[in-house]
Amino acid sequence: MSDERPTVGFVGLGAMGWPMAHNLHAAGFPLVIRDALPDVEDRFAAEHDKAIKARTPNDFRPVSTLITMLPDGGIVRDAVLGWGIAAASSPGTIVMDMSSSDPTDTLELASRLESFGLKVVDAPVSGGVARAVTGELAVMVGGAADDVAAVQPVLRVLGDPARQFRTGPLGTGHAMKALNNVVAAATSCVVAEALAAGQRFGLDPGTMIDVINASTGRSFVSELNYGTEVLTGRYGSGFRLGLMAKDTRIAASIAVAAGIDAPVIALASQRWAAAVRELGPAVDQSRAHQAWTGAALTRGLADEAVLADEAVLDDEAVLDDEAVRESWTAIGIRTDIPHPARVYNYLLGGTDHFAADRDAAQMSLSVMPEVRDSAQGNRRFLARAVRFLSREAGIRQFLDIGAGLPASPNTHEIAEPGSRVVYVDNDPVVFLRATAVMEGSTSAVPVAADMREVDEVLSAAGKLLDFSQPVGLLFAASLHNIPDSGDPAGIVARYLAALAPGSHVVISHVTGDFGPSQMAEVTASYAARGATFIGRTREQVTQMFNGRELVSPGVVQISRWRPDDADPDPHPDRVWAYAGVARA
């Protein structure tokens, strides 16, 4: 009995929280869990025999350490005080906030919890999902010495002891996390500007990064952020733009509270806030340079062969070069007709588009400005839908039809570790870019095929996916590019016929229900350009599910489908599209 582990409470089973809680359970700690999504709680409890779902605040009474892993300090406060956990907890319980919170929120929380006899330790982490899975997180720990000592058995499971830093009194852990991140954030601004300036001067961004990383300018940002993510077009650091912007805002407030003149920190906070306004909070933080400079930063930008092979297509001066256009034509790329994947990429702030794509997108925005909100809302919906399929439906295989150009977070980045994903698109630019991004992966592969060639797609996808097991079939913003004569509902039906029981289908689709005249004008303009873009009614979108059982809340406006409070649509009523998920 002397080896029996104390009970730990865990609030927040998200991308980081789930593997952290899993590791505690594997180390023998009984758990009391709570998450905003009841289905997530149910699945975690079903998979972990020493974990119980808290049905009332009193279930937390046996807990000696309560861990919170949530988006920010305000949500932590609401979770601990709002539901009544604090009032139900035993005096002496230590609340360990491992979120990236504002230290002022931490101190306020501690003051309010003192009346319940509870203590607080702030222990934000660094290392991302990968190190959360392996239990090798870096941890910055603030709090009273006795309290920090008391939580060591838990911290040794979650993080690498060699990377645990005792930062000082309560609040210093969260302050350190924000100040560390603002150093990286400010560095990222400078690197982006330097690369853009050098590129205009005739330098290759890849060569510049190689020189910087071999010289005094070397940093984590230049090596991993720009070297690994930006120049490869991968954009998969795993840290959302909105979270980095939040940390820079916290750092700026710390500087103000400290009474120091910190113009660089203030400017970094402003630049990251501007990037969020331009690109949205959900994209990977490594994309921020696109909002600041608009430059396409890729190795060998001046090399025409690389331009063709890597699909780096943003420099208009190069686009006008006839020899380069001929090389694109040789590999099947039409530069004179807008393609949905490239138009969508433009609307999301990407760089892989031609003049015809930009013209179509700008036409759409001039007639129906809600197009950009709808594109961004679709990305958020896709992330929510894939998380639902992964966490609640237990699906580990995905067939993403009409996937479009890679845009972090991609399906394979959202799905549970070990999932397999096949991306299908008929645009050679998508295939080239996706091949570069997924090079070396054995679990995520692109397929160059037309979604209407169902047998061809299934045959190619079957090399990675096992169709005798459940599959998540995704049609995210792709069916509105199929004309009525192409029978989009019939296409879906043919794919559904190939799926095993337990599979699910996801569909999102633009609509003219909220602006019939605007949508009709956009549809006509696309047709004049040789492309298809058709808004359909809610009833028509529902018919595409072919009578399958819809998951609650059914087919609804995209922003209303299980909205995520941590990443809400900033203008939900401007997302002119429907979406739904059904059991196949």
Contact 546, 512 (CB under 8 A): no
Residue 114 CA to residue 213 CA, distance in Å, equals 49
Residue 506 CA to residue 492 CA, distance in Å, equals 10
Q: What would the two tokens of residue 114 be?
A: 């003192």
* Helices and strands (DSSP H and E) totals, the chain: 26, 17
C-alpha count within 13 angstroms, C-beta hemisphere, residue 184: 23
Q: Which amino acid does the sequence have at 216?
A: T
The residue from 50, 53, 119, 177 that is catalytic is 177
Task: Tell me, yes or no, if 119 is annotated catalytic.
Answer: no
Residue 350 CA to residue 317 CA, distance in Å, equals 18
CB-based contacts of 175, cutoff 8 Å, min separation 6: 103, 142, 167, 254
Establish whether the linkage from the previous residue to 409 is cis, with ω within 30° of 0.
yes
Residue 277 CA to residue 269 CA, distance in Å, equals 13
479 φψ region: left (φ > 0), alpha (ψ -120 to 50), beta (else): alpha
Residue 468 CA to residue 300 CA, distance in Å, equals 44
Comparing CA positions, the residue from 26, 24, 36, 99 lying closest to residue 63 is 24
Residue 558 CA to residue 578 CA, distance in Å, equals 5
Residue 67 CA to residue 22 CA, distance in Å, equals 13
Residue 46 CA to residue 434 CA, distance in Å, equals 36
Residue 19 CA to residue 562 CA, distance in Å, equals 23
Establish whether the linkage from the previous residue to 553 is cis, with ω within 30° of 0.
yes
Residue 414 CA to residue 564 CA, distance in Å, equals 14
Residue 509 CA to residue 578 CA, distance in Å, equals 5
Q: Which residues are catalytic?
A: 177
